[in-house]
Structure 1
């Protein structure tokens, strides 16, 4: 991931340099019209942003109206059911539904009021922005037409750079995740190392003496079985370590591709050396 991240960053920088050079060439070619027409292009961008916000507010307002309508229908249904029920056989479930529906209606009405206000405000801002843009369009018509190639090229590079930036961010997130997995694998190996050290200390102390006439209780067999299970755990953790090292551009092919016994000996060498 580090290589892919660096490649993405280099592509971003290359396009940024290219955009700067090309736009400077356009400025020299077009001249003063670029600076003179900037108010119009800025007003156009502001109008576009206001349009997006107005559309979002409209959708939220319509959604609030639908929620309020559904909540009122639920209340009507619950009230009708309660009126049909015999008072001696009062349905507590429908009463609870009615209470919830009433609460939902109150919340939906508040949401509708809030979104309605926001809808009106954003619509007013959009109308103001469009009006200002059209005034500048009439006033700066000649300079706008002359500078159009520059601003269209600028918009093209802007979109391209945004896409490259998203790609860089994605690679950065994946690299961060890979490093976290690598650290986890290292901690697991440290845990296994501690367990092996503890087993060595116990072995150095030697086995307890057997009493006269004591019979074999299968302890040695159990130890071998337990050691087999422990080694399997080491192998699985080492495999995870190898994968993470591969991600982090660390060469552990000899340990990752060897036989099970080689892998175990190699892991023990790393942990205990």
Structure 2
């Protein structure tokens, strides 16, 4: 790359680093403020509501666990598609006896058979796993219902505290995600800066090497016999 182009890359990366670090510092400050504010307000709310919060906590923990289990059930059981199934095997075999398969067809058949066997094994595993997670969902939901009946009064009294806590948790997660994103952007800018700097150093070394080579060739032409001067 021409030196001017690399200098532009270096300056752009440096400006992006400075801008990103300022935004990152501001985002971290906002996160700390929200964290401090949440602790202060939740402590105040807890002092007003008293012991009903701790008595109701098992219910809210059970709800959280049930939500996690339902998320696993809904997100982890997509079937992988191999593109080869029993019909494909029939097509490969179609019109050919086993003794008539040449090596290419035999290899295709072996490959297809392996894929079908793998798909069947994965299907069986997926069904067993689905049944296991379904049982966990049912157990988690039953526990939520049981606690809801047993702790009805405490749940109602402590609801303002846990609703406020959920709001703060959501805000903290959003700001944490923002901080993580800015950290990644700054890291990328620093990487680009490092690459541009290495390129400039390499260009500088090449320029010095060519300059030295020209000086050496010039002196060699002026003094071809190597006489001492």
Normalising TM by the smaller chain, what interval?
Answer: 0.7 to 0.9
Residue 106 in 1 paired to residue 87 in 2?
no
State the number of aligned residues.
203
* CA RMSD after TM alignment: 2.7
Q: Residue 29 of structure 1 aligns with which residue?
A: 48
Q: Residue 38 of structure 2 aligns with which residue?
A: 19
When normalised by structure 1's length, the TM-score is: 0.66
Contact 1:51 1:126 in 2 (8 A): yes
Q: Residue 140 of structure 1 aligns with which residue?
A: 151
Deviations 1:5-39 (A, max 9, x none): 11211121121112112211211222211111001
Residue 77 in 1 paired to residue 96 in 2?
no
Higher relative contact order (CA 8 A, sep 6+): 2
Q: Residue 242 of structure 1 aligns with which residue?
A: none
Q: Residue 12 of structure 2 aligns with which residue?
A: none
- Inter-CA distance 190–116: structure 2 relative to 1 (3 Å threshold): same
- Inter-CA distance 107–42: structure 2 relative to 1 (3 Å threshold): same
Instruction: Give the Cα separation in 2 of the matches to 1:108 and 1:198.
Output: 61
Instruction: Give the Cα separation in 2 of the matches to 1:68 and 1:185.
Output: 44
Q: Residue 209 of structure 1 aligns with which residue?
A: 222
SS in structure 1 of the partner of residue 94 of structure 2? helix
Q: Residue 54 of structure 1 aligns with which residue?
A: 73
Instruction: Give the Cα separation in 2 of the matches to 1:177 and 1:76.
Output: 52
Structure number with greater Rg is 1
Alpha-carbon distance, 1:209 to partner: 3.3
Contact 2:31 2:176 in 1 (8 A): yes
Alpha-carbon distance, 1:202 to partner: 4.6
Instruction: Give the Cα separation in 1 of the matches to 2:63 and 2:160.
Output: 15
Instruction: Give the Cα separation in 2 of the matches to 1:122 and 1:153.
Output: 31
User: Which aligned pairs between 1:122-201 and structure 2 lie closer than 5 A?
Assistant: 122-201=133-212
Unaligned runs of 5+ in 1: 212-273
Report which stretch shifted further, 179-188 or 135-144.
Answer: 179-188
Instruction: Give the Cα separation in 1 of the matches to 2:171 and 2:177.
Output: 10
SS in structure 2 of the partner of residue 124 of structure 1? helix
Instruction: Give the Cα separation in 2 of the matches to 1:81 and 1:91.
Output: 13
Report which stretch shifted further, 140-149 or 99-108.
Answer: 99-108
Q: Residue 260 of structure 1 aligns with which residue?
A: none
When normalised by structure 2's length, the TM-score is: 0.77
Instruction: Give the Cα separation in 2 of the matches to 1:103 and 1:198.
Output: 59
SS in structure 2 of the partner of residue 37 of structure 1? helix
